[in-house]
Structure 1
Amino acid sequence: MSQEFVLETRGLTKEFRGFTAVDSVNLQVKEGNIHALIGPNGAGKTTLFNLLTKYLPITRGDILYRGKSIAKMKSSEIARLGVVRSFQISAVFPHMTVLENVRVALQRPMGNSFHFWKTEKVLNQLNDRAMELLESVGLDDYADNITVELPYGRKRALELATTLAMEPTIMLLDEPTQGMGLEDVDRVTELIRKAAVGRTILMVEHNLRVVNKLCNQVTVLARGSVIAEGDYATVSANPQVKEAYMGSEADEDQEAAS
């Protein structure tokens, strides 16, 4: 493996009682890239994410981080390496303030292990860094808001801030623009672009306009297998990809992108 790949899978496979959800996937994520994982519903994208972060056990194959196998590590150990993921649904504490959510996330790299019972004086020491992160995602004016009151798009922006608080080297974003209106999609797209500076991002994304705008490399899954790889123009022109996933939507998106 070239050391330019920060994350790699070799023959990664996941079977559920005879059903193969991920089938011998060889994936190479280059350092510093924004890499998209796309495909139709049921293609195995989220299952692959769950394997990469050990939320599911592997049936066969290997996962390498910077050339070293992490396949036998626990999910918490993988996160400590800097491989940090978000989920399809917003994963924030709804009844805490926006600032408090980021402070909780900041405790992980500081070794405080999410000690909710820490004194207010100790937690207040994290405020400056928390505010920097909130400013980076356009939420500094919302610091004192209760999170449940935020619009959906701003909750996803908060989730991005909490992910950044954990000091990732590679961010795994699962459907970061799912369920958003156009204005929120554009805002979060730009936030991801900013977050990618100095980091690597692997993202599952259904919105092909976002993929076209952001991603250096695209891997297409269908029925658990890789069917195409390359930049957006290459994969969107691939007949196998059109048949399996994009169809007429690909033509519409290519027109919109041109």
Structure 2
Amino acid sequence: MGVALEAVGLTKEFKGFVAVNDVSLAVEKGTIHALIGPNGAGKTTCFNLLTKFLQPTRGKITYEGRDITRMAPAEIARLGMVRSFQISAVFPDLTVLQNVRIALQRRRGESFDFWRSEKTLARYDDEARGHVAEVGLSEFEGHRAAELSYGRKRALEIATTLALEPEMLLLDEPMAGMAEADVARISALIRRIAKDRTILMVEHNLSVVADLSDRITVLARGEILAEGDYATISKAPEVIEAYIGAEHE
């Protein structure tokens, strides 16, 4: 299917400390690719480099064959590559529908004019409802975001991301802090939306990684330790050692 996102020789140094060292990876189109590793492995730094919230010290990043190494996050979002954050980012005092509607206004290049009449903004409602339904929140569309459970807030965040019409989603620990029921719900959601999109995710929950991922890149101390499907990496001695070692450090 080809490569959606590729990094070659990606390196990030902070005042002499090398957080990510010569990382090269390729995320194939139409797949779910997970980035995992023990604490301190460099996952977050690598993810922030790939999503352009950090600039690399060295290396090159391409998206759909286009060099995005020096682009800003807003620029790559316009190219179709959009990320979520570990902390849910929604407007708590707006309804579910209004949150998604704001994303539609942004996508169409219109300002966030909250003083516009409800009638004017209603032209976005049908499309917003479609995205709300896509993440299973139709019965909550009139609820304030603050009233939602944590898992449903994450689903709402994904709905606002989908409103930007991304071809690729980058999810930062989508299951962080969730109860078991919410994990199952968001896992099913990710599997559903991945049918038409490419997904790269950082995730600590290895059962989720095993269930969802087509390919997994394991980082340790800022370098790639192993790569492959879950059956392959879960049996790799170096991966087992890295995780067990991290637990006892």
* TM-score, normalised with respect to structure 2: 0.95
What amino acid is the match of 1:69? D
Shift of 1:206: 0.7
SS of 1:112's equivalent in the other structure is: coil
SS of 2:38's equivalent in the other structure is: coil
- Residue from 37, 40, 53 that aligns with 2:38: 40
Structure 2 residue runs of 5 or longer lacking an equivalent are none
Q: C-alpha separation between the residues in 2 aligned to 1:120 and 1:70?
A: 38
Shift of 1:78: 0.8
Shift of 1:248: 11
Following superposition, which runs of at least 4 residues in structure 1 exceed 6 angstroms of deviation? Answer: none
Q: C-alpha separation between the residues in 1 aligned to 2:76 and 2:114?
A: 23
- Residue from 34, 51, 60 that aligns with 1:53: 51
Instruction: Give the aligned CA root-mean-square deviation in angstroms.
Output: 1.6
Q: C-alpha separation between the residues in 1 aligned to 2:217 and 2:116?
A: 44
Shift of 1:42: 1.5
Contact 2:39–2:246 (Cα < 8 Å) also in 1: no
Q: C-alpha separation between the residues in 2 aligned to 1:221 and 1:16?
A: 18
Shift of 1:94: 1.0
SS of 1:212's equivalent in the other structure is: helix
Q: C-alpha separation between the residues in 2 aligned to 1:113 and 1:30?
A: 35
The match for 1:241 is: 239
- Residue from 82, 85, 99 that aligns with 1:84: 82
SS of 2:224's equivalent in the other structure is: strand
Shift of 1:55: 1.1
The match for 1:120 is: 118
The match for 1:5 is: 3
- Residue from 182, 186, 194 that aligns with 1:196: 194
Contact 1:105–1:114 (Cα < 8 Å) also in 2: no
Which of 172-181 and 104-113 deviates more? 104-113
Q: C-alpha separation between the residues in 2 aligned to 1:57 and 1:169?
A: 22
Shift of 1:117: 4.0
Q: C-alpha separation between the residues in 1 aligned to 2:164 and 2:117?
A: 21
Q: C-alpha separation between the residues in 2 aligned to 1:139 and 1:147?
A: 11
* TM-score, normalised with respect to structure 1: 0.92
Q: C-alpha separation between the residues in 2 aligned to 1:91 and 1:248?
A: 30
Q: Percent identity?
A: 61
After TM superposition, the structure 1 = structure 2 runs for residues 99-178 of structure 1, keeping only pairs within 5 Å, are: 99-178=97-176
Say how many residue pairs are matched.
Answer: 247
Structure 1 residue runs of 5 or longer lacking an equivalent are 250-258
Q: C-alpha separation between the residues in 1 aligned to 2:163 and 2:235?
A: 38
Deviations, residues 203-239 of structure 1 (Å, cap 9, x unaligned):
0011111111111000000111111000001001001
How has the CA–CA distance of structure 1 residues 114 and 62 changed in structure 2, closer, same or farther, with 3 Å as cutoff? Answer: farther
Contact 1:133–1:161 (Cα < 8 Å) also in 2: yes
